[in-house]
Chains A and B, each alone.
Chain A
Amino acid sequence: MKSVIAYITEILKGIWTLLTGMRVTAKYFFTPWKHITQQYPENRQTLKIAERFRGEVIMPHDENNEHKCTGCGICEINCPNGSIEIISKSVMTEEGKKRRAIDQHIYHLGMCTFCNLCIKACPTGAIVMGQKFEHAVWDRTSLTKVLNQPGSKIMEGVKD
């Protein structure tokens, strides 16, 4: 008799533990306005990305199409994956001196691990991390980008 009672209590206890769990799920089932799901592609306009989010390396240009990059190549040295290539050229300044300038700042997005070391190392703050995160493309050659815009030149007063 005792074993039968023990058997039945065990079953009832087991059912009770299941109901305890079910109560938690039921609470969320009947209060769905507290849900946390985001409708991602629909909420693109209102999506808030943290300002420090590391999406891609970008080179900000001002309204005169000027940037701060001197072409020193420190970001290239600091990059662990070789995703930055600096092609520099020498230009004549107004005083007639030769000076190094950036020709092409090539950035391979496909190789980048977003470690932030290039941005930390940049002495002039020419490159920053952008918040764009939708990088899917059809052709991987379009993942290689030239960061300095065509026809752009270095800002006045930025020296390395």
Chain B
Amino acid sequence: MAELKEVMITTDDIKTDEYLVNMGPQHPSTHGVLRLLVQLEGEIVHNVQPHIGYIHSGIEKMTESLSYPQIGHLTDRMDYLSAHMNNEAVALCVENALQIEVPDRVKYIRTIMAELSRLASHQLWWCVMGMDMGALTTFFYGLRDREEILDIFEETCGARLTVNYSIPGGLMFDIHPNFQRDVKAFIKKFRTKLPEYDRLLSGNVIFTERTKGVGFLSREDAIAYGVTGPTARASGFACDLRKHQPYSAYSKVNFNEVLSDVGDTYARYQVRIQEMWESMNIIEQLIDNIPEGDYAMKMKGVIKLPEGEFYQRVESARGEFGVFIVSDGKKNPYRVKFRSPGFSNLFAINHIAKGWKIADLVAIMSTFDLVIPDIDR
């Protein structure tokens, strides 16, 4: 028996080399052309190095040769799922620099539109999250409901995704006569559809086993890495700018900031699901009270900002989106910097995914809700 013990080999005795695997740029679960250089030992992730730049579009540089109203349509193309918030950030930044106050109607419509696009963004995140976990059904259910929001956008803004609706000084169009009716119908319908999401995925045993207790991010680390948005709120970091630094009409509505102090993948999932309920609450409070008035202010043909530096941040669907404009008094900005939430969130992935299996890396990345043009702007 003693002789047999000597020849028995345990897994500790097998020495394997660490090896590098490229996850992406064409990997379907990276949601775009993101390349992760993953250092693996067997299945265990030791290091994740994100390599970005595959779809760098140079938007920040391009804006230096554009006038202020023209910047808006480029920000649509960065984080295309929260195009409204990006437009709003640029518009608010220019309005703050010019020290003008837009009419209340504009503020209300902007807030409703931002919440609608947050809903659409979270719906898409939910269905893609399910798909990453191997549940293809969710993909169709999420897209089905998102389609109705996009139809509302199409009717009012004229575009479904790259809307370019908020411009400095107001809005591109007034709301469509059917807008309020359609939004109310959608909210009523979606309130019955969202519990369906829970039944399909949130309680599913395969899903919970793969997400509960996987990929922890502590509050301190979230702050240290500059993580914002639902990803940080799942770690207990109260960073909702709608609550703590209200802009547009957010100061006029009652809503809860969704927080969780668990910080794992399932908490990040639940925070986004709860945010959908909150978004619907916000829209319901505003939709009947849109004040009468102008939908846009009369602006000069050529908008020139005073000399100086201006910063405006808004809460996009992924976190804090900031616009920093350096103006030298001309009609083009001297320099524009976009603080995109995806960029900061992505680089916390190495910290979170260390020590977990490669299949968990997919789940963790999915709850980050990455949009690659937002990272690679």
Binding site for B on A (CB under 8 A): 13-15, 17-18, 20-21, 23-25, 36, 50, 52-54, 78, 80, 113-117, 120-121, 129
A80 and B200 form a contact (CB under 8 A): no
Chain A residues near B162 (CB-CB < 8 A): 113-114
Chain B residues near A13 (CB-CB < 8 A): 205
Chain B residues near A121 (CB-CB < 8 A): 301
Chain B residues near A113 (CB-CB < 8 A): 73, 77, 162
Chain A residues near B157 (CB-CB < 8 A): 52
Binding site for A on B (CB under 8 A): 66, 69-70, 72-74, 77, 137, 144, 147, 151, 154-159, 162, 164, 167, 172-173, 176, 196, 199-201, 203-206, 208, 301
Chain A, Cβ-Cβ closest to B74: A80
Chain B residues near A50 (CB-CB < 8 A): 151, 154-155, 158, 176
| A-B CB contact pairs (8 Å), 9 listed | A17-B204, A24-B199, A50-B155, A52-B155, A53-B159, A80-B70, A80-B73, A113-B73, A113-B77
Interface-central residue, A24, A50, A113, by most chain B CB under 10 Å: A50
Contacts A117-B73, A120-B172 hold; do A21 and B201 have CB atoms under 8 A apart?
yes
Known: A13-B205, A50-B155, A113-B162. 19 other contacts (CB 8 A): A17-B203, A17-B205, A18-B204, A20-B204, A21-B199, A21-B200, A24-B199, A36-B147, A52-B155, A52-B156, A52-B157, A53-B154, A54-B158, A54-B159, A80-B66, A114-B158, A115-B70, A117-B70, A120-B172
Contacts A78-B70, A116-B172 hold; do A129 and B158 have CB atoms under 8 A apart?
yes
B205 and A18 form a contact (CB under 8 A): yes
Contact of A53 among B69, B158, B200 (CB under 8 A): B158
Q: How many residue pairs at the A-B interface have CB separations less than 8 Å? A: 71
Contacts A14-B205, A113-B73, A117-B69 hold; do A24 and B196 have CB atoms under 8 A apart?
yes
Interface-central residue, A24, A25, A36, by most chain B CB under 10 Å: A24
Contacts A52-B173, A80-B66, A80-B74 hold; do A21 and B158 have CB atoms under 8 A apart?
no
